[in-house]
Amino acid sequence: MPYFADANEVDKYIGGVFRLAADHPEVGEKMKAANLVMRVLYTDPDVEMNVIMRDPMQVVAGPVEEAADVTLAMPADIADKFWRGEYNLAVGLAKGQVKAKGPVNKILKLVPLTKPLFPMYRELVAEKDGPS
């Protein structure tokens, strides 16, 4: 059974961590400086999420008019593992578990920025996870 019940949960938790990233003291300005649109197509549940990395940074659940610079496709469960710090995106791309279109190197450069966000994500999903 997938971790996320529906598209709203993907937006609440994964979209939520991207929204928090915009104001993060270490990460926010660097993500905005990337100046790109990343579309992520999640499955189980199916959700399109667009992260517009400029100032102001925006996270949109659903399509946007602007063309994506990079498109990633993956099961939402992989995204959950990634944000918990339990999944290596580069390995996932190499194994074909994560599909990418566009200049993947632009996204891989941003991956190290996400590490300080992992505790924030784990805090977001703590309520959903329940008592450990």
Taking only the tens place, the pLDDT of each residue in 15-32 is 999 999 999 999 999 999
Task: Please tell me the pTM assigned to this model.
Answer: 0.95
Residue boundaries of the structural domains of the chain: 7-122
Q: DSSP letter at 128?
A: H
Q: What is the CATH number of domain 7-122?
A: 3.30.1050.10
Nearest to 3 by CA among 19, 16, 14, 17: 14
pLDDT in tens, 57-101: 999 999 999 999 999 999 999 999 999 999 999 999 999 999 999
Per the prediction, the chain carries an average pLDDT of 96
Contact 115, 82 (CB under 8 A): no
